[in-house]
């Protein structure tokens, strides 16, 4: 049976494989910090030497992790954060489409149920503009299915 520390170490090893550790620039910074500390350390001070050894081990571990890391798998890169922000803004606006279904209470004491709304509304609850046939007017609606995927 695995003890708690062994389980934690196994979990750290597995989760560390996909964690973004900063890439080559961070590796250079870590190496420079270690070399700076090596120059300033007092070889007669046991506590400093122990700390230096821990720093070496940690730096080597990070270098091994960085060896196979791919920034495209990270959720902390600026590109991902920007894409996530844009998606969340559009999600809040229902991607520019009308809301046609909603949780409706027929009476104040009734339970809300999912129903088709009589009139499509925007995210603020205002009626959506309709065409002559009574269908919602969409702003950037592609005319053909293939146009939807043109880049």
For residue 22, name the pLDDT band (cuts at 50, 70, 90): low
Identify whether the C-beta of residue 82 lies closer than 8 Å to the C-beta of residue 54.
no
Burial class of residue 109, CB neighbours in 10 A (0-12, 13-18, 19+): exposed
Instruction: Report the percentage of the chain scoring pLDDT > 70.
Output: 74
Tens of pLDDT, residue by residue over 112-129, are 999 999 889 988 888 888
The chain-wide mean pLDDT, for the chain, equals 78
List Cα–Cα distances, 64 to 27, 29, 35, 58, in angstroms.
10, 15, 18, 10
- Is residue 17 over pLDDT 60? no
What is the distance between the terminal CA atoms of the chain, rounded to a whole angstrom?
Answer: 55
pLDDT of residue 14: 46
pLDDT of residue 16: 46
CA–centroid distance for 23 within its chain: 18
In this structure, are strands 113-121 and 99-104 parallel, antiparallel, or unpaired?
A: antiparallel
- Is residue 76 over pLDDT 80? no
What's the chain's Rg over C-alpha atoms? 28
For residue 8, name the pLDDT band (cuts at 50, 70, 90): low
Tens of pLDDT, residue by residue over 29-72, are 888 888 888 888 888 888 888 888 998 898 888 888 877 776 66
Q: CA–CA separation, 110 vs 104, rounded Å?
A: 9
The backbone region for 95, taken as left when phi is positive above 0, alpha when psi lies in -120 to 50, beta otherwise, is left
Mean pLDDT is highest, among 68-77, 89-98, 129-138, for 89-98
């Amino acid at each position: 049976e695995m003890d708690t520390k062994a389980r934690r170490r196994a979990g750290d090893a597995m989760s560390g494989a996909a964690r973004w550790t900063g890439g080559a620039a961070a590796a250079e910074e870590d190496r420079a910090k270690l070399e700076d500390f090596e120059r300033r350390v007092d070889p007669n001070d046991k506590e400093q030497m122990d700390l230096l050894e821990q720093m070496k081990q940690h730096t080597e571990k990070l270098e091994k992790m960085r060896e196979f890391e791919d920034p495209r798998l990270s959720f902390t890169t600026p590109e991902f954060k920007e894409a996530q922000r844009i998606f969340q803004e559009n999600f809040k606006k229902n991607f520019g489409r009308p809301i046609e279904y909603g949780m409706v209470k027929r009476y104040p004491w009734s339970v809300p149920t999912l129903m088709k709304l009589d009139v499509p509304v925007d995210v603020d609850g205002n009626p959506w503009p309709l065409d002559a046939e009574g269908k919602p007017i969409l702003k950037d609606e592609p005319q053909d299915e293939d146009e939807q995927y043109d880049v």
